[in-house]
Amino acid sequence: MREAYIVKGFRTAVGKAPKGFFKFKRPDELAAETIEFLINSVPDFDKYWIDDLIVGNAVPEAEQGFNVARLISLMGLKIEDVPGVTVNRLCASGLESLAIASAKIKSGMADCIIAGGVESMSYIPMTGYKPVPSYNTVSQGKEDYYWGMGLTAEQVAKDFNISREDQDVFSFNSHMKAIQAIKDGKFDSQIVPITVDETYLDENLKKQTKSEIFKQDQGPRADTNLDVLAKLRPVFSANGSVTAGNSSQMSDGASFLMVVSEKMLKKIKIDPIAKLTNYSVAGLPPKIMGMGPVKAIPKVLKQSGLKMNDIELIELNEAFASQSIAVINELKLNSDIINVNGGAIALGHPLGCSGAKLTVQLIHEMKAKNLKYGMVTMCVGTGQGAAGIIEII
């Protein structure tokens, strides 16, 4: 078995959906520009060396349809020789893409793959334009297979006794950590500056275009506080505890990494930064999908031979505060090493992009702190969990 190395990884800033700064930026364009930046960051790199482009996407239809990965390859690389494949494991799609790339390189099927994910929740509604539940499934009392994620968050809060107050505190802390990280420039080196052109009519009704560059996450709120969060109404259940304030934000974003073999490493003559050593997925009841990491984390640790104490930093995707707290409690995780620069409640959750985005964030923070082992883990819609272990080189 060969080794697979991550040599570069970048992400865009994350925009709020559907009215944020990427509301007029198509997802294929967003991804293409991110990949172009990634390629240009490797000196003297030949695009013809890329064997494949793997793109995670949670709702691959409309502007994200028609095997969007192939279109992104054509748009971003500007050659016709690199194929593309779109991968969908909902919220873990970006991490799944990285796992597939690593596995293909380790098996000898490829030497260089670009892997990551993109999602525009401004262009595509969360469940797509035409969700069609199976009548037979629903008639058998399995409506929860099709529950919206908010209902699953309420179920987790109920089943695991997570209070509204604890959820709001968790949300507040996420924002404060993210704001501090931005002030400290923690994300500056990992974010690709993206130009957005907006067309409008001036006072003489003549068409004008203005351009603006975005390179800072839009979601974190310095002005939030516990009083503000406490006043928000539940949005999924009248008597519930899950609000817009303690849920992840609908978002737009893209993130990609370059994964190569040792042979390619020697050809491009740069040092690797990390590798995905292990990756596991797991299933559980869809109605408590937020608990996915509770199943996936022990599985990936067993696969790797590592113990939880070996993991020095964790990116736990904050789909909701209720499930994040429940996962931390159930696994008795060390909160001090989890989402140290804030999580999706503050920074946003662009679905199919998030797994790759969290990996990029994890690698940059681990290298800054001179750490060795880290983990990216997330819950996944319809009752799944995913966890990957990153080793810094």
Structure confidence by residue, pLDDT tens digits, 30-49: 999 999 999 999 999 999 99
Least confident piece of the model among 143-147, 252-256, 295-299: 143-147
287 Cβ neighbours under 8 A, 6+ residues apart: 144, 147, 151, 152, 155, 383
CA–CA gap between residue 308 and residue 247 (Å, rounded): 27
What is the structure's pLDDT at 203?
A: 83
Cβ-in-10-Å burial (0-12, 13-18, 19+) of 75 comes to middle
CA–CA gap between residue 146 and residue 286 (Å, rounded): 8
Average pLDDT over residues 368-390: 98
Alpha-carbon distances of 103 from 40, 312, 377, 392, rounded to whole Å:
25, 24, 18, 18
CA–CA gap between residue 207 and residue 99 (Å, rounded): 46
Average pLDDT over residues 293-312: 98
Question: Which residues in 371-391 are b (16+ Cβ under 10 Å) and which e?
Answer: bebbbbbbbbbbbbbbbbbbb
Entry pTM: 0.96
What is the structure's pLDDT at 199?
A: 81
200 has a pLDDT exceeding 90: no
In 3D space, the residue among 354, 161, 320 whose CA is nearest the CA of residue 235 turns out to be 320
What's the token pair of residue 33? 């520009």
CA–CA gap between residue 383 and residue 290 (Å, rounded): 8
Cβ-in-10-Å burial (0-12, 13-18, 19+) of 88 comes to middle
pLDDT in tens, 331-342: 999 999 999 999
What is the structure's pLDDT at 198?
A: 82
Alpha-helical segments (H) within the chain: 27-40, 68-77, 93-107, 135-139, 149-159, 164-183, 226-230, 262-268, 292-304, 321-331, 344-347, 354-369
Q: Compute the chain's Rg from CA coordinates.
A: 20
| DSSP states along 282-328 | EE--GGGGGGHHHHHHHHHHHHHT--GGG--EEEE--SBHHHHHHHH
Cβ-in-10-Å burial (0-12, 13-18, 19+) of 183 comes to exposed
- Residues labelled catalytic: 91, 349, 379
Report yes or no: 74 and 81 within 8 Å, Cβ to Cβ: no
What is the structure's pLDDT at 115?
A: 98
Give the Cβ contact number of residue 238 at 10 Å.
7
Question: Which residues in 128-140 are b (16+ Cβ under 10 Å) and which e?
Answer: eeeeeeeeeeeee
Q: How does strand 15-16 pair with strand 84-87?
A: unpaired
Kindly report the backbone phi and psi dihedral angles of residue 350, in degrees, each rounded to the nearest multiple of 5, phi listed first.
-80, 60
Alpha-carbon distances of 59 from 90, 118, 262, 345, rounded to whole Å:
7, 10, 34, 20
CA–CA gap between residue 225 and residue 190 (Å, rounded): 28
pLDDT band (50, 70, 90) for residue 242: very high
Strand stretches in 177-261, DSSP E: 191-192, 194-201, 207-214, 251-260
List the domain boundaries for the chain: 5-125+249-392
Q: What is the largest CA-CA distance in the chain?
A: 68
Q: Which amino acid is at 249?
A: Q
pLDDT band (50, 70, 90) for residue 207: confident
CATH 3.30.470.20 describes domain 5-125+249-392: no
